[in-house]
Structure 1
Amino acid sequence: MVNQSSPVGFLLLGFSEHPGLERVLFVVVLTSYLLTLVGNTLIILLSVLDPRLHSPMYFFLSNLSFLDLCFTTSFIPQMLVNLWGPKTISFLGCFIQLFIFLSLGTTECILLTVMAFDRYVAVCQPLHYATIMHPHLCRQLAAMAWIIGLVESVVQTPATLHLPFCPHHQVDDFVCEVPALIRLSCGDTTYNEIQMAVASVFILVVPLSLILVSYGAITRAVLRINSAKGRRKAFGTCSSHLIVVTLFYSSVIAVYLQPKSPYAQERGKFFGLFYAVGTSSLNPLIYTLRNKEVKRAFKRLLGKEVEPRQS
């Protein structure tokens, strides 16, 4: 059922109070989007085409890359239009955007947790890694992440868009997002705020806690390795994922767990922009620049790496 208090749509204010900044952001967002498309598509192609990358780690990485492609494409074209021209979005467009934003954002939280579990097994149970992380389990874990994201969005999106919105329909953000839509409501938002708080615990706090526990165990296991080379190799297999987790969760927490104040809202928009645009473009760079296997796979794809002769 369509919310009758907003039959026309919404006005996404974004950074409209800083017209000069919007022109700069247009170039930054467009550049980041192009990097996201190229970088994540390349990782997916390498993971599919190169047999040496047919492992659980790259299976989950290709899932993350596909997720980032879908996530950014769901709102960046609209954002680019808003930065350069009209800032309106229809109610249906806002519904679709919010649904995808919540679903894929939640999926990424769970998927990063699954990737931390994969790294935990690789470092702490190396002899049993192939047995534990078999392809069937990997597919089940990936499917679980996508299903949890879908369920979260099915629950929270209708509840948010059924709020009684104020007549001006001005969303103080660059995208239809739960905190901004709650602030737009002129009615009682207690239920929605409780719902968002509960979702934040299960989608943000619990997965992040599991990731920290996994890396605590990984750190203990690595410190027990006698050789410095072995410790560097073990940490190297986890460093890219740890950087991605840090960037993702720090920006998401700044958006969804911020205090109520005008300063916090303005700061939250910048964190939200980095969460929505920056992390998706940085992920492939982090994984390719710090990963020798991906670099070698890219060279093999270009035909620039010669395979060693068999003796």
Structure 2
Amino acid sequence: MDNVSVVMLFTLSGLNHTLEQRITLFLLALLWYLMILLGNVALIVTIIVDKSLHEPMYIFVCNLCINGLYGTVGFYPKFLLDLLSPHVISHAGCLLQGFVIHSSTCCDFSILALMAYDRYVAICRPLVYHSVMTKQRVSIFVFFSWFIPLYCMLMNTASIIGLKLCGSHIQKLYCVNWMIVKLACSPPTANTVIAYLNITFYFFHAVFIFWSYMYLIKTCLTSKENRGKFKQTCVPHLICLVTFSIAVLLDLFYMRFGVTDVSQSLQNFMSLEILLIPPVINPFIYGFKLTKIRNRILGFVHIKKKNVKCQDMTFHIDGELST
């Protein structure tokens, strides 16, 4: 398959394990994916069902969890299949997987930027919060937080369709556009331009998020009430933001520079961290740190237990009456 211009199948690297090890990894990956599904779906359903949570901050959290599901569905089903079969992927499947994972990452950045803006308005300009964060404006924000990443990544992916390739082996557990570009026989100018435009665009997202939290911290230092708001609503955002940023940086360093002097397992972890940690940590942090969501979940669990106890008591009484 090497030194050809038409590649229909890619081979992926990183799974040099015995059958027993693959089965163990399959069970662990399946358990982890089920945790991701359960945690994110539980938070999404809680926010949708409870009307008191239909506020900008919780709407953004809900979209962050939806995006977590969207990003992981582009990886885990294929990865689980690879653990039980040859580690290959079709050209079209590779482009699709790269598009989903890239657009999910960019969408995370967009939603985290919206969260930072929401907290800035809520703490630094509380008197105008409800006039600024109206339902119509929040809907527009959410729409563009999905539309722009999808559009940017669609353009990026379209620029490598039909690219002449001089190889078919991708040094990664899953497909990303940069790895396909590295196999190109000649540097694709269109993809390079689009990639740098996208990087610049999301770099400004990162600058805005950093500036927002620096301003928030500076404002909260002068007020005890604002410090309470910051601890309650901003700390979860910061934890998820730091986790996500570290995962993105590790993945970027791994893709751009590579790591040859470490074990294959560590290389796999560096490339997978963005698909392992944030999708699990986000619902956990928001579910336990944001009071309204935590109280709603605990209230649901309490009602469930109460109903079970009532059913047991009814069954016990009915049994005594029948005797």
Query: Which TM-score band (shorter chain)?
Result: 0.7 to 0.9
On the 8 A contact 2:67/2:104 being kept in 1, the answer is yes
CA distance in 2, matches of 1:268, 1:163: 27
Q: Which residue of 1 aligns with 2:186?
A: 187
Give the SS at the match of 1:110: helix
After superposition, give the CA deviation of every residue in 1:12-46 in whole Å (9 maximum; x if it has no partner). Answer: 22x12355765554344322211111111111111
Written as runs of structure 1 = structure 2, the 5 A alignment for 1:23-62 is 25-62=25-62
Which structure 2 residues correspond to residues 119-134 of structure 1 after superposition, within 5 A?
119-134=119-134
Counterpart in the other structure of 1:245: 241
Report the counterpart of residue 309 of structure 1 in structure 2.
Answer: none
Checking the alignment, whether the CA contact within 8 Å between 2:39 and 2:284 is kept in structure 1 is: yes
Name the CA shift for 1:35/1:220 in 2 (closer, same or farther; >3 Å).
same
The corresponding residue for 2:211 is 213
| Map 1:73-222 → 2, pairs under 5 A | 73-167=73-167, 169-189=168-188, 192-203=191-202, 205-222=203-220
Letter in 2 for 1:222: C
TM-score, normalised with respect to structure 2 = 0.83
Question: In terms of mean alpha carbon deviation, does 244-253 or 178-187 score higher?
Answer: 178-187
List per-residue Cα deviations over 1:241-297 (Å, max 9, x = no partner).
Answer: 111111112211222355434439966643230102321121111111222221111
Report how far residue 125 of structure 1 moved.
1.3
Count matched residues. Answer: 298
Does structure 2 conserve the Cα–Cα contact (< 8 Å) formed by 1:113 and 1:211?
yes
SS at match of 2:83: helix
Report how far residue 94 of structure 1 moved.
1.6
- 1:241 maps to amino acid: H
Identity within the alignment, %: 27
Distance 1:5 1:293, change over 3 A: same
Alpha-carbon spacing, 1:254–1:268, altered in 2? closer, same or farther (3 Å): farther
Unaligned runs of 5+ in 2: 307-323
Over the aligned positions, Cα root-mean-square deviation in angstroms equals: 2.5
Shift of 1:193: 4.2
Q: Which amino acid aligns with 1:298?
A: I
Contact 1:103 1:150 in 2 (8 A): yes
Find the aligned partners of 2:31 and 2:222 in 1 and give their Cα distance. 44
Q: Contact (CA 8 Å) 1:102, 1:153: kept in 2 or not?
A: yes
One-letter code of the match for 1:185?
A
Distance 1:60 1:184 in 2: 38
Report how far residue 240 of structure 1 moved: 0.7
Q: Quick check: 2:15–2:173 contact (8 Å CA) kept in 1? A: no
